[in-house]
Amino acid sequence: MDSLTQIVLGAAVAAVSVPARDRRVALAAGAVLGTLPDLDGIPLALMGLDPVTRVTWHRGPSHSLPLLLAAGWLLWLLLRRWNQRVRTAPRPWLVAIWLALLTHPLLDAFTVYGTQLWWPSPTRPVMGGSMFIIDPLYTLPLLAACIAAAVAGPRAWGRRWLAGGLLLGSLYLGWSLVGQQLADRAAARALAPMGLRDAPRLVVVTPLNTLLWRVVVMTPDGFLEGERSLVADRGAMRFTAHASDTAALQALGADPAVARLRWFTHGFMKAERDGDALVVSDLRMGAEPDYSFNYRVARWADGRWQPVPVRQQSGIRDAKGMLAATWQRIWHAAPAP
């Protein structure tokens, strides 16, 4: 999720955990701890890594639940020795530190980017896909709660605001999972007659809402793409078929960059030829034909695809137009074929 959301979530869970007299200090401490895991982007950017390595290591070790548990405990030990507030209420502050750190990757796991919750285990990243990286309906109640708690200080109504903001946020996360399941069921019913009910399928929310869902279904020669508005759509879900150079992906299967992308995306990627270059796109973020992450991974030479140093291509070309189309699509059913 975006930095503001992680800041207010970390602040809220920390402040609600400590004694009232420490509430304002916990708001500040939780805000810092809540955004700390995303600072892994700084060393990754400074190390001069190739784009695939840089993208796939973000949300890696710094988002690992075991590592954050250990880091939080060590930080608590230091603070218990040097900080009077923590010495006075050690257990509440341990809970506050752990919650501020751990809620960050857990919330990230609701998005589709991919969060390596169990690093260094080689298990694939968790990519829930039920939340977009920015969602004001989740963030604003938490922001309001943190502001109210800062104003209230040790007064009891500040904690009530924090509890209310966290409750509303949790209910909204729960609704996002329900909406995702509704879209997934509609997709499964439509895919069954095509013999694709068990094909790899991704159901991901579209930007800034939880009412319009995008479904990607992998096929032997490419993928299908469909949308489901929980407001406007009725009847069978419709899909559009798109081609992908699956033979090129298979030929490059041993290439480290392509293999890493396949692991990171759970196989939801397409390949297409651009002149003599092969461009691989991450199908999870964006929509046909514009995607956020595109990589030039090979060139055609001597009758075969040969790996080249990875270069990231341009991302979504018309973000404003995509957002406008998303808003319209929420309220209007897809036109009949």
Residues 244-281: pLDDT tens digits? 999 999 999 999 999 999 999 999 999 999 999 999 99
What is the count of structural domains for the chain? 2
- Asked, for residue 333, whether it belongs to a domain, the answer is no
Q: What is the pLDDT of residues 115-148, one digit of tens each?
A: 999 999 989 999 999 999 999 999 999 999 999 9
Co-location of 99 and 247 in the same domain: no
Co-location of 161 and 41 in the same domain: yes
Co-location of 310 and 240 in the same domain: yes
Of the candidates 114, 143, 177, which is a domain's last residue?
A: 177
User: For position 109, what pLDDT does the model report?
Assistant: 98
Quote the domain boundaries for residue 30.
3-177
- Asked, for residue 337, whether it belongs to a domain, the answer is no
Beta bridge partners of 296: 279, 311
- Asked, for residue 184, whether it belongs to a domain, the answer is no
Co-location of 100 and 13 in the same domain: yes
Co-location of 112 and 243 in the same domain: no
Q: What is the pLDDT of residues 171-188, one digit of tens each?
A: 999 999 999 999 999 999
Co-location of 26 and 139 in the same domain: yes
User: For position 261, what pLDDT does the model report?
Assistant: 96
Co-location of 171 and 206 in the same domain: no
pLDDT at residue 337 is higher than 70: no
Q: Model pTM?
A: 0.93
How many residues does the structure list for the chain?
337
Co-location of 173 and 212 in the same domain: no
Co-location of 11 and 101 in the same domain: yes
Co-location of 15 and 59 in the same domain: yes
Of 279, 273, 275, residue with least CA distance to 261: 279
All residues at 6 or more sequence positions from 151 whose CB lies less than 8 Å from its CB, including other chains: 158
Q: What is the pLDDT of residues 213-250, one digit of tens each?
A: 999 999 999 999 999 999 999 999 999 999 999 999 99
- Asked, for residue 37, whether it belongs to a domain, the answer is yes
Q: What is the pLDDT of residues 17-53, one digit of tens each?
A: 999 999 999 999 999 999 999 999 889 988 989 999 9
- Asked, for residue 183, whether it belongs to a domain, the answer is no
Handedness of CA 92, 97, 98, 99 (dihedral sign): positive
Co-location of 19 and 63 in the same domain: yes
The whole-chain average pLDDT of the chain stands at 95
The answer to whether the CB of 257 falls within 8 A of the CB of 295 is yes
Q: What percent of the chain has pLDDT over 90?
A: 91
What distance in Å separates the CA atoms of residue 155 and residue 178, rounded to the nearest whole number? 36
Co-location of 264 and 218 in the same domain: yes
